[in-house]
């Protein structure tokens, strides 16, 4: 996948995490709250990994 698609995936994960965190804390649903936190962690890790990953051959 291209770098742009990875960044778009990170954006979608962030957007999915916001309602999950909100509903998990407001409705006292720990599983949903933890799922939201995992989504935030994965979405936050994608740009960091892309920064240090080798590019596809372009210098």
- For residue 11, being part of any structural domain is answered with no
Indicate the average pLDDT of the chain: 91
55: which DSSP letter? -
What is the separation of C-alpha 26 from the centre of its chain, rounded to a whole number of angstroms? 21
- For residue 28, being part of any structural domain is answered with yes
Q: Taking a C-beta distance cutoff of 8 angstroms, is the pair 14, 39 a contact? A: yes
pLDDT digits (tens, 9 = 90+) for 19-40: 999 999 999 899 999 999 999 9
- For residue 17, being part of any structural domain is answered with no
pLDDT for the residue numbered 15: 95
pLDDT for the residue numbered 7: 94
Q: Could you give the CA distance from residue 59 to residue 52 in angstroms, rounded to a whole number?
A: 14
Domain span at residue 35 reads 22-51
What total number of domains does the chain contain? 1
Which tokens go with 47?
A: 């740009």
- For residue 27, being part of any structural domain is answered with yes
pLDDT for the residue numbered 56: 72
- For residue 30, being part of any structural domain is answered with yes
Name the band, by pLDDT with cuts 50, 70 and 90, for residue 42: very high
């Amino acid at each position: 996948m291209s770098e742009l698609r990875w960044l778009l995936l990170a954006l979608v994960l962030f957007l999915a995490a916001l309602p999950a965190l909100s509903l998990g804390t407001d409705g006292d649903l720990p599983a949903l709250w933890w799922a939201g936190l995992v989504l935030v962690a994965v979405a936050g890790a994608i740009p960091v990994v892309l920064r240090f990953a080798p590019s596809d051959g372009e210098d």
